[in-house]
Amino acid sequence: MIKKKIVFTALATLVLAAAVHADAYIISRLKPGINPKVIAKAYNVTLLDYITGGPFAYFKAPTQDAADLAESKMATDPRIVWAEDDAGMTSPEPQKGSTLPAVGDRKALYDANTEFLKQISWDGTFATKPGRKVLVAILDSGLSPNQPYLWEKVDSYLNVIENGELPYDIPRNSDTNKDGVYDGMTGHGTMVAGVLDQISPQSRFVIVRVADSDGMASAWSVIKGLAFSVKAGAEVANVSLGTLNNIPAMSDVIEWCASQNLTVVAAIGNNAKPLACYPARISQAICVGGLLPNSTKAPFSNWSGVCLVSAPATGIVSQDWTGKMANWSGTSFSTPMVSGTIAEALRLNTTKGVAPSRMRANIKRNGNSLDSLNPSFAGKLGSLLDFSKFISNFRP
């Protein structure tokens, strides 16, 4: 049964194509107590959405020139912290592998993933221990209705893309990136949730559909998803999407999340470039890179000095949107291994409100060096995730 405990209402349905291309759309942070409707009137823009009780707002200008003019004036308005164009984000991965014929129960998934679980020193005895409730937000393409046992773990949810609809991860006849492939990322969010469930099977979920079935999202959809995650009580947010384009505002958003004790874990990206995507690039996020089974860098994975930790990224088997299993590769699936490890450490610890800075310190202290195996990328891959060491030595 699908549970719904927290609901955000939008002033207008988010039109994805507009959000992705961001021709005349403005994201902003307002000072506390400022009414976004007053700001919209002052700058002749339309208020599309805002975070109830939060500092962020989303506006539409009639043209890009009008948006540029409004943003330049907003920059000197003492009621406004920042304002900038919305920006596209995506979750491009290497080609999805085949769908496996069997329905994926937990034993089948563990059997299929034996090698990567060994690689990160996963220990299933922790999963059976009693602990407190921990919520992990998954900001992605949603969760398939064909995975009822994963839905049983959902405490709250939001669909930012199709306002008012359930956040289902299903084909929707979408080719928003115009590559000729419709619904190219269908199942992405379900795969991510399935990996996280394998690592920390007692964690609860907050599902936020911030990307469409073609993998396209926007800065605003991610901002709203993070704000919803905070309100829902999540302690960890998994963001397996991003962009290489500069999004200055995102640093402030992640800093705000940190002030609310929400740890954001994000994928470094799959561009094979020496640069991390946003939001993984931001210092207060936990940036996750991808590895081959021998713990060398996966060919598609980006690399950067901001990368804090790396985990397996190839041939990962998880739940598919069809209700069966599938295999897929990419840093998107390394990321929930880290999110799940953090969630498991929190679940087995009574301390709540752990600052993201403490999480980063624990990651640094309890990983295994990758430099000897990756001399060409020394200092650019972080450490190898060690599940058992992290949980055993976790210090809130």
Q: Which two tokens stand for residue 206?
A: 């907050």
Residue 17 in any domain: the answer is: no
Of 40, 60, 85, which marks where a domain is finished? 85
Residue 5 in any domain: the answer is: no
Mention every residue, 6+ apart, whose C-beta is less than 8 A from residue 75: 82, 83
- Asked if residue 105 and residue 70 are part of one domain, the reply reads no
Residue 382 in any domain: the answer is: yes
- Asked if residue 105 and residue 45 are part of one domain, the reply reads no
**Residue 72: which domain range?**
23-85
- Asked if residue 129 and residue 73 are part of one domain, the reply reads no
pLDDT tens, 315-360? Answer: 999 999 999 999 999 999 999 999 999 999 999 999 999 999 999 9
Per the prediction, the chain carries an average pLDDT of 91
Residue 12 in any domain: the answer is: no
**Span 171-176, average pLDDT:** 89
Residue 18 burial (C-beta neighbours within 10 Å; 0-12, 13-18, 19+):
middle
Query: Nearest to residue 102, comparing CAs of 343, 320, 283, 351?
Result: 320
pLDDT tens, 4-41? Answer: 333 332 232 233 333 334 468 999 999 999 999 999 99
- Asked if residue 70 and residue 127 are part of one domain, the reply reads no
pLDDT tens, 87-116? Answer: 999 876 776 766 676 677 888 999 999 999
**Span 194-205, average pLDDT:** 97
pLDDT tens, 136-146? Answer: 999 999 999 99
Residue 336 in any domain: the answer is: yes
Residue 77 in any domain: the answer is: yes
Of 85, 106, 130, which marks where a domain is finished? 85
- Asked if residue 202 and residue 318 are part of one domain, the reply reads yes
Residue 6 in any domain: the answer is: no
Residue 9 in any domain: the answer is: no
Tell me how far apart the alpha carbons of residues 62 and 204 are, in angstroms, rounded to a whole number. Answer: 42
Q: Are 205 and 135 in contact (CB under 8 A)?
A: yes
Q: What percent of the chain has pLDDT over 90?
A: 84
Q: What percent of the chain has pLDDT over 70?
A: 92
Of 35, 68, 85, which marks where a domain is finished? 85
> Which string of b and e fits 97-129 if b means at least 16 CB within 10 Å?
eeebeeebeeeebeebbeebbebbbbeeebbee
Residue 191 sits in a domain of what CATH number?
Answer: 3.40.50.200
The type of residue at 377 is F
